[in-house]
Amino acid sequence: MARGVVEAGSLKRYDLYVDGTFQPPSQNARFESVNPYTEEPWATVADASVEDLDVAVDAALRALEGDWLTLGGAGRGKLMHRLADLVEQNLAHLAAIETSDNGKVRRDAEAQVALVAKWLRYFAGLADKIEGRVVSEPQAEYFVYTRREPVGVVGAILPWNAPLLLLAFKLAPALAAGCTMVVKPSEFTPASVLAFAQYVHKAGFPAGVFNVVSGSSRELGAALAAHPRVSRIAFTGSTQTGISVSKAASDHVGRVTLELGGKSPQIVFADADLEAAVNGVVAGVFAASGQMCHAGSRVLVEQSIHDAFVDALVRRAREARLGDPTDPLTDIGPISTEPQLRKIEELVSASARSGAKILCGGKVSPRSGYFFEPTVITNVQQHAQIVREEVFGPVVAVMPFDREDDAIEMANDTPYGLAAGLWTSNLNRAHRMVDRIKAGTVWVNCYRVASPAVPFGGMKTSGVGRENGLDAINDYLETKSVWMDVSGGKRDPYRISSSSSESSESTTTRESNPSRGDHLDE
């Protein structure tokens, strides 16, 4: 039987990528990935065990010390640029896999793969700019400096909604920092990350630097989070799973960043450009079938324009073209997984039962594939489940507000704090609102824009830490402080000196009084 990535034939075959080779899992178990548009399995994927995960972690640990270390920042950056070239050259291939695995509309999938290359290039540029500093220690006997070192093996745990892009958020800074990685893709969408491994291999990364361990069991993610030899977990997924990840990693003092769920408000004032605002709301909740962590699924509209805004939004929902995600004219593809489709259906039905008005959509589409019709809901209260819980589908709840203060109160009345959209032409108001909104990202007169240069992450239960931006690389580095005694003298082991004046005196009297430094008293 052929091994590795086999894309000929009707059922594609993807094996694990561990220690620089594609290999079947130790127990030869496999699972199928279902295309949400055809509802048919389209790929068979290696189903790894916890033992396979151990092998991958050990390979990643070894790789930290090998050729990867000697490459240096410039060498790592060069490999990252080579990988970005390969991603760009094979954009259509990777996007097609993402579409088969996840149902992502092809033009969106292509745009996201292009972003993967952009992320790699941005962080490649930082790889040779990692610097410690010399600390101007007041005591002349010591030369003190800091070094920035890779944190170690990184475990990346991915969700199903944007596997490659969310991998790039983690992989690009991790590689630039000199870390190695074991990736656990979602059990629903493992194929694109395994296919991506081909290009990592082709780019010439040393064996063990990048490993992919796919599996059907959620236990595999749990084992990665708890793995004592994994120094850092970069997790994107639901808030509930993120809490388990954080607890598991804390048992071995593992570092964690969590990019979790959201219930992001889009706030539309009467003075906004309404066409642009409707467009932004559509982009925020109907694009990607609403399967975005930052979906703007609560729209707060100033009372005076509420009805006109809702009419326009309903019109746009009805015009949206659902269909084959490979068709360039399709706007909305299927929901990625059947359980997710059922979850959306249940949340919308429950809201109708509790008195909400479903103005359009509101049901599973009769066409084949896991489609949910774009849905606009009104007549809901702040405490309603549909207003509080993440739907992760093309479903938006619209609520009116009277005053700016009311909009802020409603916007912040959520356990989440990932993103918010603000639509107004009043600059003073925009600044006031930005100041008061509790969210990691506020888009003003725009929505769903991202860049490797701009930090992204959540407040409150939407997460811990930030991905992207110059500082993201720091999450993959540790600081080591180095003290060097350059005096050549010996010190009194029982004497603690604690003031700089005392210590500068000690410098001059070193021979007679060898006490030096503000000695650490534990």
Nearest approach in angstroms of CB 134 to ligand NAD is: 37
**Rg of the chain's alpha carbons, rounded to an integer?**
26
Closest approach, Cβ 465 to ligand NAD, in A, equals 11
Q: E-assigned strands of 366-425?
A: 375-378, 395-401, 416-417, 419-423
Min CB(334)–ligand NAD separation in Å: 16
DSSP-based three-state secondary structure for 467: strand
Q: How near is the Cβ of 219 to ligand NAD at its closest, in Å? A: 8
What is the rounded CA–CA span in Å between residue 61 and residue 151? 11
Which positions touch ligand NAD (CB under 6 A)?
Answer: 157-161, 166, 184, 186-187, 218, 221-222, 225, 236-238, 241, 244-245, 259-262, 293, 390, 392, 418, 458, 463
Question: Is 360 considered catalytic here?
Answer: no
Instruction: Report how far Cα 270 is from the mean position of its chain's Cα atoms.
Output: 34
- Report d(CA 308, CA 317) in Å as an integer: 14
State the Cα–Cα distance between residues 58 and 228, nearest whole angstrom: 11
Given the complex with ligand NAD, which of 139 and 414 has the nearer CB atom?
414
DSSP 286-352: TGGGG--TT---EEEEEGGGHHHHHHHHHHHHHH--B--TTSTT-SB---S-HHHHHHHHHHHHHHH
Two tokens, residue 450: 């991202």
In the complex, least distance from residue 235 CB atom to ligand NAD, rounded to whole angstroms: 7
Cβ atoms within 10 A of the Cβ of 362, count?
20
CA distance 230 to 391: 32
Residue nearest to ligand NAD (CB): 221
**Known catalytic residue at 293:** yes
User: Which residue is catalytic, options 98, 141, 187, 293?
Assistant: 293
98, burial (CB in 10 Å: exposed 0-12, middle 13-18, buried 19+): buried
Give the containing element (helix H, strand E) for 169: helix 163-177
CB of residue 230 vs ligand NAD: minimum separation in angstroms?
Answer: 11
The secondary structure element, H or E, covering residue 212 is strand 210-212
Pick the catalytic residue from 141, 259, 373, 390: 259
Distances in Å between the Cα of 117 and the Cα atoms of 345, 447, 452 are 36, 22, 10
**What's the closest the beta carbon of residue 314 comes to ligand NAD, in angstroms?**
25
**Residue 367 DSSP SS3:** coil
In the complex, the smallest distance separating the C-beta of residue 166 from ligand NAD, rounded to whole angstroms, is 6
Return the number of the residue (451 or 508) whose C-beta is nearest ligand NAD.
451
In the sheet with 477-485, reading across from the earlier edge strand, the strands are 134-135, 142-150, 477-485
Q: Which is nearer to ligand NAD, 244 or 385 (CB)?
A: 244
Residue 159 vs 178, nearer CB to ligand NAD: 159
Please give the Cα distance from 163 to 101 (Å, whole number): 10
CB 437, CB 300: distance < 8 Å: no
CB nearer to ligand NAD: pick between 266 and 424: 266
Active-site residues, by number, are 259, 293
